[in-house]
Structure 1
Amino acid sequence: MLAYFKRVGLALGGVIGAVLTGIALESYVGIPFATTYRIACAVACLVLIFKLGKDYPGERWPRSAFFICLIVNVLLFFTPIMDRRPSRGELMIFALPDVIIVLMILIASKKAVDVHQRAVRQQMILGLIVALLFCSALYSLIIFNPDH
């Protein structure tokens, strides 16, 4: 139970630290808070993928997924999606493409030799389709928003 509270405390401390860093960068350096907030969201997604790589030692797919997600997250900063005010759901803008990339690489690298493994692969493909639909709907709503 103590370990749980320690993790929650570290997470809250990290959020407070990120907000204070964003405010300080805006005040002293002139970097907008929205940019630092988005960078923190992208880094949070990449940290989760990096931790996923530690769960699968010796396999190459988590490392490949991490580097492709890093490239996609950096490229997202140069899209029209970032030309708007940040929102509380900003994490989803980076998390959805990362989930799609990780699922695609995992599906491509997973060997299915028996019925159970084929069923698991089919479930991952269904999850990939749902993530693609949700991601395309979210990005369409952001891009075609009249307030944009």
Structure 2
Amino acid sequence: MYLSAQDIERMEGTEKVHFLNPQAVRRNRSLGDAVGLERLGVHLITVPPGHYSTEYHAHRYEEEAVYVLSGRARATLGEDTLAVGPGDFLGYPTNGTAHDLYNDGDEPLVCLVVGQRLAQDVTDYPRLAKRLYRNSGEWDVVDHADIRPVRR
């Protein structure tokens, strides 16, 4: 499948607000969906100034990557914070460091975001002490304090 630059420019996209963070607001144009990708998410996102792209999180099984096209942001990677801008690339391996992006600039942040679309994943939200279990379309969120290991 093919999308021209004009096709992408005409895509209206969808406004998304993260279900755990009302300050995480972005306009999402799913390039992957538009060409029929099922196992790989490819999104052109736009984050307005003063907003996060997502809630601070780390995936246990899925990998993600972000390429900054325009704008500026503060990237948090674990305990570290760094300034990112056009041409910068961020890769988030599985079981990696928790991360987020915050648009601390005065213009929209535009990024290409790529990530796996596994049927099952576990995502931790360390600042909220929550864990998301995603299983074939079903989402369950639990507090870290309520997670009990099973001894075999």
Which TM-score band (shorter chain)?
under 0.3
User: Which structure has greater helix proportion?
Assistant: 1
Normalising by structure 1, we get a TM-score of: 0.25
Q: Which has the larger radius of gyration?
A: 1
Normalising by structure 2, we get a TM-score of: 0.24
